[in-house]
């Protein structure tokens, strides 16, 4: 598991360092950090990076970590579920509101079991801008499982979230 965490940290550093001269370009709001849930875990912390931008569409990639607490009291004795969620998605829209379509594999660490699920992303998202210092983010959507290799005790395929552009 430590190898996965090191790999995730390396991916985040590469994504952050890929555009060190962002202040010199026109639209510098290419990154978002946000909290989302419930999805297949109770909550997730995610970092997102815009990879491509065209007039009416954008390609984004994100990486996140999620958590679902377990029950340690008998008779269930469910372990906690730690989740790593990479995502690639396409946004369709022009200014402040976008349709989001994407794919999100989730790597789950559930006790001594590690497994991967494949989830779809179908959602709507928006940008909140009141002034130059306020660049908020919200989203909500549907996150169904396309493939799963392990049955979970928790699966709510809807999500909502909020965060900040930077």
Rounded average pLDDT per 10-residue block, the chain, 166 residues: 61 54 56 89 91 94 89 69 93 91 91 88 90 82 86 77 92
| Cα distance between residue 37 and residue 140, in whole Å | 9
| Cα distance between residue 137 and residue 126, in whole Å | 6
Domain span including residue 148: 2-17+27-165
| Alpha helices in 2-142, H assignment, sequence order | 2-17
Number of domains in the chain: 1
Task: Give the pLDDT of residue 157.
Answer: 85
- Give the CATH number, domain containing residue 160: 2.40.160.20
Q: DSSP code of 25?
A: S
What is the C-alpha R_g of the chain?
Answer: 17
Task: Give the pLDDT of residue 20.
Answer: 45
Tell me if 22 is assigned to some domain.
no
Tell me if 56 is assigned to some domain.
yes
Task: Give the pLDDT of residue 90.
Answer: 97
**Biggest alpha carbon distance in the chain?**
59
Q: What's this model's pTM, rounded to 2 decimal places?
A: 0.77
Q: Which residues contact 133 (CB under 8 A, 6 or more apart)?
A: none
């Amino acid at each position: 598991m430590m190898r996965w965490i090191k790999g995730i940290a390396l991916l985040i550093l590469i994504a952050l360092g890929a555009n060190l001269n962002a202040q010199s370009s026109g639209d510098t709001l290419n990154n978002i950090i946000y909290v989302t849930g419930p999805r297949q875990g109770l909550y997730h912390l995610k970092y997102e990076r815009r990879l491509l931008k065209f007039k009416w569409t954008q390609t984004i990639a994100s990486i996140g970590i999620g958590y679902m607490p377990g029950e340690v009291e008998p008779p269930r004795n469910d372990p906690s579920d730690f989740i790593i969620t990479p995502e690639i998605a396409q946004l369709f829209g022009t200014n402040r509101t976008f349709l989001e379509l994407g794919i999100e594999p989730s790597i789950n660490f559930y006790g001594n079991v590690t497994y991967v699920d494949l989830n779809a992303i179908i959602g709507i998202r928006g940008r909140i801008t009141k002034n130059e210092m306020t660049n908020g983010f919200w989203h909500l959507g549907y996150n169904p499982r396309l493939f799963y290799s392990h049955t979970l005790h928790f699966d709510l395929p809807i999500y909502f979230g909020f965060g900040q552009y930077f």
